[in-house]
Amino acid sequence: MILLRNIFVTVALTIMATACASSKSGKVYSRGETQHIQTVKVGTVIAVDDVLIEGTKTPIGAAAGTIAGGVIGAGSGDSSGDRVRGVIGAVVGGVVGAAAEEGFTRRKGQEITIELDGGDVISIVQEADQRIAVNDTVRILTQPDGTKRVTR
């Protein structure tokens, strides 16, 4: 029973760490994004639509689920029935683990359409972690790698 609890804690911590590592926020910067010159453009928000940003789909969730499902399904593993249940548990656990990872890391987002001061119209999708509304004046920050974010 302690083994199962340790597996579930490991799976949960791994999924949470994955969720934190891949922010699509307008307000969260990775360490590598700091101390770089950003290009700034200014514009007016003309539309904001709610969207859903899919979660991460790494092998971590599936692998953790496969291990947990295999251990749970196998029981003692002494009989051929236990081994069959272990294989079935591993397959089901892998599918459930992958779905859990994607679900835990899924985020609410916004598609923000902006008319730039020069007249061009652009659209950027990012996490909905700040209030941006139609008619707000916003800054569009562009990192050297091309990543853009919208801030008020």
pTM, two decimals, is 0.58
Q: How far apart are CA 117 and CA 34, in angstroms?
A: 26
Q: What is the pLDDT of residue 94?
A: 72
Beta bridge partners of 107: 53
Amino acid at 8: F
- In this prediction, residue 18 carries a pLDDT of 47
Give yes or no for residue 21 having a pLDDT over 50: no
Per-residue pLDDT, 148: 92
With beta carbons less than 8 A apart as the criterion, state whether 57 and 102 touch: yes
pLDDT in tens, 39-82: 999 999 999 999 988 766 666 666 776 676 666 766 655 666 66
pLDDT confidence of residue 13:
52
